[in-house]
Structure 1
Amino acid sequence: MSGSTQTNPRFPPGSRIQVKPTAGPRLAGKTGRVVGVGYYPKSLRVVLDGSKAPITLHADYVVVIDE
């Protein structure tokens, strides 16, 4: 199933997010923007600040932040 046709109501595209410490030391505390959903139901495609390409993260590892 294509991720481009689905949305996650907690994380709409364009939402600013911060990665939780439970995601591991390499990603913890980084911020970015949601660009879509992943292949799996609870996965998100996120472009972290300073990155050019999106990565996939589980929705439990991110939290929405205010701009």
Structure 2
Amino acid sequence: MSGSAQTNLKLPPGSRIQVKPAAGPRLAGKIGTVVGAGYYPKSLRVILDGSKGPITLHVDYVAMIDT
């Protein structure tokens, strides 16, 4: 499942993302790196810059950053 989820989301591991304001005030605007697909089809595992471990976010809450 994780392989197909990564393909459908167009956010492969290593992609740089920014969290959208819809995710809430605590996470809005933070930048991080995708480390893989989450358990659910539209979820991503992301390590935010400065964090020690990954969190799971819905794809609607992230935007890809052009690097």
Q: TM-score, normalised by structure 1?
A: 0.89
Distance in 2 of aligned mates of 1:6 and 1:51: 27
**What are structure 2's unaligned runs of at least 5 residues?**
none
Q: Is the 8 A contact 2:5 2:42 kept in 1?
A: no
Computed over aligned residues only, the root mean square deviation of the Cα atoms, in angstroms, reads: 1.3
The 5 Å alignment of 1:1-67 reads 3=2, 5-9=3-7, 10-67=10-67
Q: Is the 8 A contact 1:11 1:64 kept in 2?
A: yes
| Identity across matched positions, percent | 72
Paired positions, count: 65
**What are structure 1's unaligned runs of at least 5 residues?**
none
Q: TM-score, normalised by structure 2?
A: 0.89
Following TM superposition, where does structure 1 have runs of at least 4 consecutive aligned residues deviating by more than 3 angstroms?
Answer: none
